[in-house]
């Protein structure tokens, strides 16, 4: 689902927020929209609250899309990222705000080479 205005305001960038249907993830998504970011919101497929988050972001004059998927599934994450870039034009900020198991990855923030050179993952 993409929602865009006929004359969108200049964006500070594009953010992808996981766990964005409720709680901390929702709060982060709305704050980034307040700060001028277009936002791709993620949660598990079939989470009805995503539509409400998108509507709230659009009412802030920002673009928003839903990118449902399970972040524990690598192919779902790749699809999420590709959908965000194809629809919103870039990906500058990624925030994993759901409970992911600990892994031996570098401590955030760190840059992923296949994303925008200025993209940061938190």
CB atoms within 10 A of CB 76: 17
Q: What would the DSSP string read from start to end of 7-75?
A: SPPPPSEEEEETTTTSHHHHHHHHHHHHTTEEEEE--STT-THHHHHHHHHHTTT--EEE----TTSHH
pLDDT value at residue 108:
44
Tokens of 5: 């205005």
pLDDT tens profile 15-61 = 999 999 999 999 999 999 999 999 999 999 999 999 999 999 999 99
> What are the structure tokens assigned to 44, written together?
């598990």
In order of their start, the domains of the chain are: 2-121 (3.40.50.720)
The tokens for 22 are 């409720």
């Amino acid at each position: 689902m993409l929602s865009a205005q006929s004359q969108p305001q200049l964006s500070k960038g594009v953010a992808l927020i996981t766990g964005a249907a409720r709680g901390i993830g929702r709060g982060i998504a709305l704050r980034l929209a307040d700060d001028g970011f277009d936002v791709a919101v993620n949660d598990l497929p079939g989470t009805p609250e995503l539509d409400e988050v998108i509507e709230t972001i659009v009412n802030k004059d920002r673009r928003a899309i839903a990118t449902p998927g399970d972040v524990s599934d690598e192919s779902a994450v790749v699809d999420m990222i590709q959908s965000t870039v194809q629809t919103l034009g870039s990906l500058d900020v990624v925030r994993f705000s759901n409970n992911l198991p600990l892994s031996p990855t570098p401590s955030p923030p760190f840059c992923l080479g296949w994303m925008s050179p200025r993209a940061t993952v938190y």
